[in-house]
Amino acid sequence: MPQSQLIDGHPLLTGAVADSPLLAAYRGDVPSRRPVWFMRQAGRSLPEYRETRAGTDMLDACLTPELAAEITLQPVRRYGVDAAIFFSDIVVPLKLAGLEVSIQPGIGPVFARPIRTMADVEALPELDEDFIRALTPVAQAVALTTAQLGGTPLIGFAGAPFTLAAYMVEGKASRDHLGARRLMAEAPDVWAGLAAWVAEVSGWFLRTQVLAGASAVQLFDSWAGSLSTADYEKFCQAASARVFELVSDLPVPRVHFAANGAHLLAPMAATGATVMGVDYRLPLDEAVLEVGHLPLQGNINPAYLTAPWETLREHVDDVLMRGAHASGHVVNLGHGVPPDTDPDVLQRIVDHVHDAPVA
């Protein structure tokens, strides 16, 4: 789909984000300052979020455009970070596709009917024009958000096929994702069909966000770290590549991230990612050896957020130093913001990173 299909007023068309430090670093160019944002920056660590969300179901909040836009904007207003990350949930497109899913406190996503057989896969909803129309609230929320972001880019996001399919197989969150891994071994054709279906869902979720105003995308594979490299390459790589393929004709950087996935950086990069997110377990200068020329994102250890400032500052400086080895570097956490994080600590990190010399 050509660039002209971006909405009128899209920040990439108007030039609103032309001077974005984030996009410069994602391209491997020299940014005007060291860019920084935080995974899960819009959420439970912010008092304004808790006030805004009070009494509202998570998925209802995601599918109310005005509310989703407001929550997305809150950390940008508070911290002055270099990107907004779209407030939603990885199961939103599954719900819009027609699956019966809810998010239960203390449990996470729960599916009414787990997917474990070929008959289950064949009964999945058809992804037709009705599905595209069902994504309209997502597009509306993105447009409302970008209209207020000015020169700060919005990052669209989606869950990677393995993570979403693992939830669907188990019917809920799992500690070791054994059900999904068993399905790969016992019925690879069933797994392949499920992964292919999920890839289309996530890909169109991302595409909708970009067409409506997002200037970059990030694909989260929260549970891929439970896989061996061989199993990732055999059972998951192609599906994640399909997600990126569905936005590959659009002029946006494509970030890929997996928690506990240091051993998967090279095969994940081969899915079509143009930037690699790195979790806190692998130093960034070592990650460069795995992904070569690709810019990196990460990787402050969230555990350091409660340490004395001098300890945290030294850790952030180490991340900055190691990130300078990459062709481009966007500072982030090596996973998401913990719910009990003091917002003032994140503010100190943002200010410190912005004051750091440009690599």
Going by C-alpha positions, the residue among 71, 93, 94, 95 that lies closest to residue 84 is 71
Distance CA 188, CA 208 (A): 30
The DSSP element (H or E) to which 46 belongs, if any, is none
Long-range contacts of 182-189 (CB under 8 A, 24+ apart): 183/116, 184/231, 184/234, 184/235, 187/117, 187/118, 188/235, 189/118
Structural contact between residues 300 and 290, judged by C-beta atoms closer than 8 angstroms: no
Q: Which two tokens stand for residue 255?
A: 């970030």
Could you give the residue numbers annotated as active site? 40, 44, 53, 89, 167
Inter-residue contact 145 to 10 (CB < 8 Å): no
Residue with tokens 């491997």: 28
Name the burial class of residue 156, with classes exposed (0-12), middle (13-18) and buried (19+) by CB atoms within 10 angstroms of its CB: buried
* C-alpha span between 30 and 25 (Å, rounded): 6
Nearest to 115 by CA among 38, 196, 5, 49: 196
Name the token pair of 333: 């956490």
46-54 contacts: CB < 8 A, separation 24 or more?
A: 46/74, 46/75, 46/78, 46/343, 47/343, 48/74, 48/78, 49/74
Handedness of CA 115, 121, 125, 128 (dihedral sign): positive
